[in-house]
Amino acid sequence: MLYFENWKVALICAVCALGVLLSLPNLFSPSFLAQLPSWLPRKQIALGLDLRGGSYLLLEVDVAAAQRERLNSIVDNVRNALRDANIGYTGLNVEGDAIVFTIREPDRIDAARQALRKIDPDLTVDIAPDGSGTMRFSTVATEARRRQAVDQSI
């Protein structure tokens, strides 16, 4: 049988009691800690980024990147749809959360609008009388894609 000297057992118990005493503030709320005597420890462990919701922030960044990728892939569909309908355009690119373009011939705006609406029902197509146009996802579609991207990454 193992035998430890009494002073070693007392030292081990004292170190364990000190550890418990120093970790107790993490179990109580800050308002309760304010009521304790000043000689007791009050400092709590600072939670890391992952325990304070940091992983959610990282997922939000990925959602923005996923939306940009989706818009960039739709640009190719817009280009093909306008070419198939023989509609001239310029300046087709992604700016922020929208696809922007300009229709060269104002009399072809209605045909362009019809061709572009077939690409994705979640996209809103706005073309001004001068031919400048934008396509962007509706707020409902943006939120649905955001939830889908977060669910896929989890």
Q: Which residues of the chain have pLDDT under 70?
A: 49-50, 52-63, 150, 153-154
pLDDT of residue 154: 60
In angstroms, the Cα distances linking 135 to 28, 61, 66, 72, 78 are 52, 22, 17, 12, 10
Residue corresponding to tokens 């890391």: 48
68: region left, alpha or beta (phi > 0 left; psi from -120 to 50 alpha): alpha
State the pTM of this model: 0.56
pLDDT of residue 140: 87
pLDDT of residue 53: 64
pLDDT of residue 112: 92
pLDDT of residue 76: 92
pLDDT of residue 145: 78
pLDDT of residue 60: 57
Phi, psi of 136 (to 5 degrees): -150, 160
